């Protein structure tokens, strides 16, 4: 593995969109592996409140993280990690740590006072994710997480 570099998605590219779709199969059993749509890529690129962070090993896309800013009237901006995913063949090789550093820096650069996210998945994947986050100094809060499908 070469030195992993991180960057933001800055323009639509069919090959990158295809690789992003492939990566999502590692984090979501409901994703079919199809490329991310041009419309979605362009919306995230244009938004001042969202970014798609990408991790490359040379020319190969090996990981990504989807970030958002949420405005909290009483506190300011909160950064939110929607998902972080690393290619299965690259897990345990530092890609997640590079993405983690990039997403923390992203939040700080945007003026966020906090980073929030949740961990889900099957018990083995979730346990690995929780171990990773705890190693990064994250504190687990006793909360209820609610979701309503719209």
Whether 150 maps to a domain, the answer reads no
Q: 51-65 pLDDT, tens per residue?
A: 999 999 999 999 999
What's the domain count of the chain? 1
Residue 130 has pLDDT above 90, yes or no: no
Whether 68 maps to a domain, the answer reads yes
- Domain span at residue 72? 4-135
How far apart CA 128 and CA 108 sit, in angstroms, is 26
Whether 142 maps to a domain, the answer reads no
Q: 97-117 pLDDT, tens per residue?
A: 999 999 999 999 999 999 988
Q: 15-26 pLDDT, tens per residue?
A: 999 999 999 988
| Total-model pTM | 0.86
CATH of the domain at 59: 3.40.630.30
- Where does 1-150 have alpha helices with state H? 14-24, 38-46, 95-109, 123-135
């Amino acid at each position: 593995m070469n030195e992993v570099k991180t960057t933001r998605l800055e323009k639509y590219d069919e090959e990158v969109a295809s690789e992003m779709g492939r990566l999502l199969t590692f984090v979501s059993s409901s994703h079919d592996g199809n490329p991310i749509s041009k419309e979605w890529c362009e919306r995230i690129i244009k938004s001042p409140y969202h970014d798609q962070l990408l991790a490359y090993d040379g020319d190969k896309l090996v990981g990504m993280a989807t970030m958002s800013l949420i405005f909290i009237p009483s506190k300011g901006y909160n950064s939110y990690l929607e998902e972080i995913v690393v290619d299965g063949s690259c897990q345990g090789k530092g890609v997640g740590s590079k993405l983690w550093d990039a997403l923390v820096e992203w939040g700080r650069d945007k003026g966020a006072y906090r980073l929030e996210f949740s961990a889900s998945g099957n018990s083995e994947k979730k346990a690995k994710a929780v171990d990773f986050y705890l190693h990064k100094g994250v504190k687990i809060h006793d909360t209820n997480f609610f979701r309503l499908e719209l």
